[in-house]
């Protein structure tokens, strides 16, 4: 069955070498194939220095292209949002979205880990979508590779960074509810024969699944972002329902255990909802929760979407809130939202949503 075939986006050099050796092909060809793969070229037909016969064998023996680009939207700020269709396995025909965010000195790909999400945070657009399933590691990494391919084919304006220097697991889904796919994808991202990204350049955002955060710390202590959004249980139970299972005191202890390298910190994400979690007492509650030595607070403006029942706090109020946190010794920043004109910002990803500004 096709889903049992090895996936080109994540196959290791060792495995590919062994596979082609069993076909009588010399080892150096495996390196060549992975060089193409790591640049985002997944179709063996495009691997120019590979003999025809090997290209055909690769096509029939591996899942080479687990994603098909269906739509790309470009924001006026350079952000690109991609809609991909899964081409094989259980989720064949389902859609996922990824976003590329270029900045002067970095290029970040925001990737999805699931189709939909079971966790139902009431302010999140993805949470309103039915949960369909977990992505495989190949499907997760293929998002990064497809973005690389697109940037090769169609570079950005010269002043923007057109490479992939950072990866964030902040797209559709709860990454730690897909441990198998996500752990494997992390080892592929950091593989010296793969994308060779330092774990300092990878950030995983989670709504706070405590045992899974502990396991992540053991297998791949990448940067951690926690969707906090409230610092008292009553309010967090409503905004981030997984809090009922893993309340703040358990999360607190878990974050204190998470292994951090030098000069690294945990980010506490806090989406600011007018009149809900932006009250004066929320400053006090946050100050009581944050571990000043290890954590920063990132205030996120609420990105609205059709049918949403929340209103975001005003820019001015967010800045004021940040100032008050800072006066209490908390390192707080206000996140600039990117790609809003194409609904590519946090919590707006929902496959199948064909917003305006359509391209290609
Ligand atoms: N499921 C994971 C990762 C994906 S969501 C998580 O919840 O952390 C990435 C971030 O966007 C999370 O902090 C999430 O809470 C936030 N988010 C969700 N909906 C949002 C919205 N409408 N506006 C702003 N941020 C939102
Ligand atoms: Fe799922 Fe994260 Fe959205 Fe909550 S915020 S519904 S955990 S994707």
Does residue 119 sit in the same domain as residue 209?
yes
Q: Give domain status of residue 232, yes or no.
A: yes
Instruction: Please confirm, yes or no, whether 117 is among the known catalytic residues.
Output: no
User: Of 18, 45, 61, which residue is a domain's last?
Assistant: 61
Does residue 221 sit in the same domain as residue 99?
yes
- What's the confidence (pLDDT) of residue 351? 58
Domain CATH code at residue 100: 3.20.20.70
Cβ–ligand 2 contact at 115 (below 6 Å):
no
Q: What is the pLDDT of residues 285-327, one digit of tens each?
A: 999 999 999 999 999 999 988 889 999 999 999 999 999 999 9
- What's the confidence (pLDDT) of residue 144? 98
Cβ–ligand 1 contact at 271 (below 6 Å):
yes
Does residue 280 sit in the same domain as residue 196?
yes
Does residue 235 sit in the same domain as residue 311?
yes
Does residue 30 sit in the same domain as residue 131?
no
Instruction: Please confirm, yes or no, whether 97 is among the known catalytic residues.
Output: yes
Cβ–ligand 2 contact at 303 (below 6 Å):
no
Averaged over successive runs of 10 residues, the pLDDT of the chain (360 residues) comes to 81 98 98 97 97 97 97 90 95 96 92 95 87 97 97 75 90 97 98 96 98 96 97 98 98 96 91 97 98 97 90 96 97 82 63 38
Does residue 75 sit in the same domain as residue 31?
no
- What's the confidence (pLDDT) of residue 4? 81
| 321 phi and psi angles, rounded to 5 deg | -60, -45
Does residue 169 sit in the same domain as residue 292?
yes
Predicted model pTM: 0.93
**Which ligand 2 atom sits closest to the C-alpha of 207?**
7
Q: What is the CA radius of gyration of the chain?
A: 21
CA–centroid distance, residue 246 to ligand 2 (Å): 15
Q: Give domain status of residue 284, yes or no.
A: yes
Cβ–ligand 2 contact at 174 (below 6 Å):
yes
CA–centroid distance, residue 268 to ligand 1 (Å): 12
What is the side-by-side order of every strand in the sheet holding 80-86? Answer: 67-74, 80-86, 95-102, 107-110, 166-169, 202-206, 223-227, 266-272, 295-301, 331-335
Does residue 146 sit in the same domain as residue 263?
yes
Q: Give domain status of residue 305, yes or no.
A: yes
Number of separate domains in the chain? 2
Cβ–ligand 2 contact at 121 (below 6 Å):
yes
Domain CATH code at residue 56: 1.10.150.530
Does residue 77 sit in the same domain as residue 158?
yes
**Which ligand 2 atom sits closest to the C-alpha of 124?**
3
Could you give the CA distance from residue 130 to residue 280 in angstroms, rounded to a whole number?
A: 36
User: Of 10, 43, 61, which residue is a domain's last?
Assistant: 61
- What's the confidence (pLDDT) of residue 324? 98
Q: Which domain holds residue 49?
A: 2-61
Does residue 131 sit in the same domain as residue 193?
yes
User: Which residues lie closer than 8 Å to 33 by C-beta, 6 or more apart?
Assistant: 8, 16, 44, 47, 50, 58
Does residue 57 sit in the same domain as residue 76?
no
């Amino acid at each position: 069955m096709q889903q049992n075939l090895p996936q080109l986006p994540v196959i290791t050099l060792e495995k590919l070498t062994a596979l082609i050796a069993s076909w009588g092909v010399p080892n150096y060809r495996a390196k060549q194939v992975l060089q193409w793969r790591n640049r985002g070229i997944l179709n063996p037909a495009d691997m120019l220095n590979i003999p025809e016969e090997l290209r055909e064998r690769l096509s029939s023996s591996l899942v080479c292209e687990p994603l098909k680009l269906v739509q790309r939207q470009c924001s006026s700020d350079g952000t690109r949002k991609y809609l991909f269709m899964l081409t094989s396995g259980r989720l064949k025909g389902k859609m996922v979205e990824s976003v590329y965010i270029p900045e002067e000195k970095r290029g970040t790909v925001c990737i999805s880990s699931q189709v939909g999400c079971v966790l139902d945070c009431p302010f999140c657009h993805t949470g309103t979508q039915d949960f369909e399933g977990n992505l495989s590691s190949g499907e997760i990494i293929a998002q990064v590779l497809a973005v690389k391919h697109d940037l090769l084919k169609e570079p950005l304006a010269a002043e923007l960074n057109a490479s992939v220097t950072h990866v964030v697991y902040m797209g559709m889904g709860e990454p730690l509810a897909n441990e198998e796919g996500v752990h494997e994808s992390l080892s592929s991202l950091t593989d010296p024969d793969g994308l060779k990204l330092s774990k300092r350049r990878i950030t995983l955002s989670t709504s706070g699944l405590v045992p899974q955060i502990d396991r992540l710390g053991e297998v791949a202590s990448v940067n951690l972002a926690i969707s906090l959004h409230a610092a008292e249980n009553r309010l967090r139970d409503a905004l981030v329902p997984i809090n009922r299972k893993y309340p703040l005191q358990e999360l607190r202890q878990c974050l204190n255990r998470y292994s951090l390298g030098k000069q690294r910190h945990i980010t506490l994400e806090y989406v600011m909802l007018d009149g809900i979690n932006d009250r004066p007492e929320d400053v006090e509650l946050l100050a009581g929760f944050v571990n000043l030595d290890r954590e920063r607070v990132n205030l996120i403006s609420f990105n609205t979407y059709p049918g949403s029942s929340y209103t975001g706090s005003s820019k001015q109020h967010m800045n004021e809130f940040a100032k008050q946190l800072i006066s209490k010794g908390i390192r707080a920043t206000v996140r600039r939202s990117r790609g809003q004109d194409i609904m590519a910002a946090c919590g707006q990803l929902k496959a199948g949503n064909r917003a305006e500004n359509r391209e290609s």
